[in-house]
Amino acid sequence: MAKKAKRRGRPPGARSPDKMDVGQLRQYIEKLEGVLKKKVTEQRAFFEKKLSELGGYAAAKATRVGRALGMGKRKGTRKKAVPKYRSRKNPKTLWSGRGVTPVWMREEMKGTKLKKDDFLIAKG
């Protein structure tokens, strides 16, 4: 048996908006507004749910990335570095070993067989 073709257009018994009187037209409009409000609330609930899921996901992802990069509870400045090297010519001149080699050390090493290790402060 052959399938019936789908009917296009208005359902049977529906009146054309052109042929409705004002009362029927108002009822039709109110019915459409009700359907529209229902659809809007359903869509809003769906998207708010998805947004809350994404918000939680993004916050968790950002926390993991922050931890991986070492961004965390570090506040303030670093404490002053303990000196590791002392000048042989002037014992008051010290260097922590951070940053560029100081001028005094380069000058003392120039033309001699001294190395950076020779200026180390003895721990004891």
Q: Give domain status of residue 49, yes or no.
A: yes
Does 105 reside within a domain? yes
DSSP classification of residue 120: B
Query: How many distinct structural domains can be found in the chain?
Result: 2
Q: Is 14 a domain residue?
A: no
Q: In terms of domains, do 25 and 51 share one?
A: yes
Residue 80: inside a domain = no
Total length of the chain: 124
Kindly state whether residue 13 falls inside one of the protein's structural domains: no
Distance between the two ends of the chain, CA-based, in angstroms?
A: 103
* DSSP 8-state class, residue 69: T
Which residues span the domain enclosing 114? 85-119
Do residues 100 and 62 share a domain? no
Per-residue tens of pLDDT for the chain, all 124 residues:
567 767 676 666 666 767 778 888 888 899 999 999 999 999 999 988 888 887 777 777 777 777 666 665 667 787 888 999 999 899 999 999 988 999 999 999 998 888 999 999 987 5
In a domain, 30, yes or no: yes
Task: Tell me if 44 is assigned to some domain.
Answer: yes
How many C-beta atoms lie closer than 10 Å to residue 105's C-beta? 19
Domain for residue 11, yes or no?
A: no
CA 89 vs. chain centroid, Å, equals 53
Are residues 90 and 62 part of one domain?
no
What pLDDT, on a 0 to 100 scale, did the predictor assign at position 70? 64
